[in-house]
Each structure stands twice: as structure tokens, then as C-alpha cells.
Amino acid sequence: MAENQQSEASEKQSGESTDQNSIPVLPRTYGSLLGSNSTAPKMEWPELVGLTPEEAEKKIKEEMPRVRIQVVRANSFVTMDFNQARVRLFLDPSGKVQRPPRIG
């Protein structure tokens, strides 16, 4: 028993503690980086379907001013390359946005 008390005393002196309250609690940051408060950039705008290309362009430019808008008329061909600085607005025959605009 005397040995047990001595080992507990030596643990307390060396700075080690067996107390459960001394374990640090790490922040829960599932899916985000520590210290990062910003959200991921928007990649698609489904709320713009049915608007005119001018209205859609204005709303996209408010969120991403450096992006280049490309208006694609109905039944037009486009290249299949991916460009992060481009958003295509696919229009229906009446001139409204037909599909959700997205980066690419």
C-alpha cells in the first residue's frame, strides 16, 4: 500500500495525471478544415431556370464576378472541355434558361 501511494505521488509530481477531466476535447470539424469559416464555392444555380439570360448573368456575376458567361441557344453544339472560369446558360426556344447553369 505504501508503494501504491508513492507511485501516485510521483505521477502527480511528473505532471502526468490519471484524471479523466484533464483530457483535451478537440473541436468537431467534420467535412471542413480547421480555421476555415468559408463555404465551398457555388458550382450550380438551379434557382435560375426560367429566367432570362440577362437576369441569370446578373445573379451569377454577383456571386462570382470573374466568371465568363456563355449563352447557348437551343439546339446548339458546344465543346466538351471543362473550364472553371466559364458558366454556360442553355436556353430553350423561348429564350429562357432551360437547365441549371453550372461551372464548366
Percent of all residues in the chain with a pLDDT value above 70, rounded to a whole number = 65
pLDDT of residue 5: 52
d(CA 53, CA 89): 7
pLDDT of residue 20: 61
Higher per-residue pLDDT: 98 or 33: 98
23-74 pLDDT tens trace: 776 666 555 555 555 567 789 999 999 999 999 999 999 999 999 999 999 8
pTM to 2 decimals?
A: 0.61
Evaluate whether the domain defined by 46-103 bears CATH number 3.20.20.105. no
pLDDT of residue 28: 62
Per the prediction, the chain carries an average pLDDT of 79
- Specify the pairing of strand 86-90 against strand 102-103: antiparallel
Using alpha carbons, list the distances in angstroms from residue 21 to 7, 17, 18, 24.
20, 9, 9, 8
Every domain of the chain and the residues it spans: 46-103
Write out the H or E segment, with its range, that includes residue 70.
strand 68-72
pLDDT for 15 beyond 60: no
Amino acid at 61: K
